[in-house]
Every structure is written in structure tokens, then in C-alpha cells.
Amino acid sequence: MSSPFLSVENLSKSFGGVQAVSQVSFELEENKVLGVIGPNGAGKTTLINLLTGFVRPDTGKVLFKGQNLAGLRPYKIANLGVARTFQMVKPFYQLPAFKNLVLPLRSPRARHLIGGRYGDLDAVAKDLLEEVGFERDSWVIYKHASVLPHGYLKRLELARCIALSPELIVLDELFSGLSLAEVASLVPVIDKLKVQGKTIIMVEHRLRELFRIADQVVVMNFGQKIADGKPKEVMEQQSVREAYLGSEEEEGGDA
């Protein structure tokens, strides 16, 4: 392969006087899991928004399989195979859980990959929900999203993301607000996605779980990349320790 799977070059974004992301560059190989960590306000979520088109970068490029994603609209990027989840869950509250997946399944990309626009989308949706850990044939998948507990909504968020059959999955704090048991049951789901050949970018505060999954870690602080490499190497760097020690109480708590 001539061009890398994902290559981010000098990505910058400022909101007013605040430099949320400044001159961030990194590369990611196919079928690897990249963890993005850093203290609160480090620009992790802005980075995700820049990658998926929800925020337009001031400067810089996002090359996905050689194509520049910077400046494209979110739905176009999704149809190119970069799907994301939101930190604050965004389900369609008026719809039953399985009907939530009909929307991504109606997207041009999913239609093209599943083939045929009149296929039974409900059945596909139920398969997807089973994949992320919903019990098949349980009442839960018929319930409106407005009455589902947080743990299920996070799974729904992930299901909506993989319904697009993406090549690159961007997870924005998937584990936040979940109990240890719930996180433990989601980790195998992500492992399975990796086995299927997906490339994953995870923004996470739960370092222990993240380091078990991640192949590569990017550490951010005040909008800048301060470290990049294998999880163990990164955590031994002095600058990373300083960034984290400064906010030990907030960040170290759940790690």
C-alpha cells in the first residue's frame, strides 16, 4: 500500500482565542486500535469532530486511504467508511431500539454494501443489536430508546456506528458512565470488530481497559500531541506523567 490507511497532517482548529487542536499529526495503520488520551479539555473530542467532519479544520489534512476528508460534510465522510459514536449518547428517542438502526442502514453506503434497497432492514438491525450485546428476541429491542437505561444506549450508539459497515470506527468515550461489568462485556465486542479487520480510534479515560485493547496511543494536552507510540512506551515518558499528575484526582480515579 502506497499511502497509509489514515494520516493526519498538521491539523489545527481554534475556537475564538482558544487553540483547541494545534498542529496534530499522526499515522495509523489498517486494522490497528489507536487510543487517544489526555486530561479534560485537551482537545480529544475536537480532534474526533475534525476527523468526522462535524467541525471544519482551520488548517491541515486528514488523509483516509489517500483521500482528504478535511472540509467534507459529516454524511459524506460517513459514506466513505468513517463512522463515529458520540460521547453524549444521541439515540432517536421516539423510535424503538431496533428502528434506530434503520437510519444508518438506509444510508447510501449501507444500501450499497447490503445490496438491494428493499431488503429486510429490520432483520439486519436485529442482527446488529445482537452483535453489540442486546439479547435477541428480548423485549428490550422493541422498547423506545427514551426508556432504555444508559448502558443499552451506549450499545445502541455503537450499533448505529457499525451499521454503516465502516472501515474506520471512531469511538468517543464509549466506556464513560458505564459500570465495570458493562465495560467488561463491551471489550469483547471491540475485540471482535478488530478481528473483523476494522480500524478503531478510541478516546478514553479508562486507561486500564484501553491499554489492553490499544496498539498505539496518542497523548494530547492543551491541544497538542505530546506523545505517540506503543502504550507502555508512552506511559514511561516524563511529559505524559506530568500531564496526568497535574490532574491526578480527576483523571486517575477511574483508571
Binding site residues, other proteins, CB under 8 A = 52, 54, 73-75, 78-79, 83-84, 86, 90-95, 99, 102-104, 106-110, 121-122, 142, 160-161, 163-164
Tell me how far, at minimum, the Cβ of 130 lies from other proteins, in Å.
15
- Pairing outcome for strands 216-221 and 224-229: antiparallel
Give the C-alpha distances (Å, rounded to integers) separating 57 from 33, 72, 85, 101, 136. 23, 10, 19, 29, 41
Minimum CB separation from other proteins for residue 31, in Å? Answer: 22
Taking the complex as a whole, the smallest distance from the CB of residue 143 to other proteins amounts, in Å, to 12
Is the CB of 100 or the CB of 199 nearer to other proteins?
Answer: 100
Residue 18 or 113: the one with the smaller Cβ distance to other proteins is: 113
DSSP state of 255: -
Nearer to other proteins, 4 or 74 (CB): 74
Q: Please give the backbone phi and psi of residue 133, each rounded to the nearest 5 degrees, phi first.
A: 105, 10
CB of 219 to other proteins, least distance (A): 26
Of 115, 107, 59, 44, the C-alpha closest to 81 is: 107
Main-chain phi, psi angles of 248, to 5 degrees: -50, -45
| Least distance to other proteins, CB of residue 238, Å | 38
Please report how close the Cβ of residue 159 comes to other proteins at its closest, in angstroms. Answer: 11
Question: Are the C-beta atoms of 75 and 108 separated by less than 8 Å?
Answer: no
Query: Closer CB to other proteins, residue 136 or residue 241?
Result: 136
Nearer to other proteins, 60 or 104 (CB): 104
Which residues pair with residue 83 across a beta bridge? Answer: 169
Strand order in the sheet with 59-64: 18-28, 6-15, 59-64, 67-68
Residue closest to 168 by CA, chosen among 53, 55, 57, 71? 53
Indicate the residue among 161 and 207 with the shorter CB distance to other proteins: 161
SS3 state of residue 103: helix
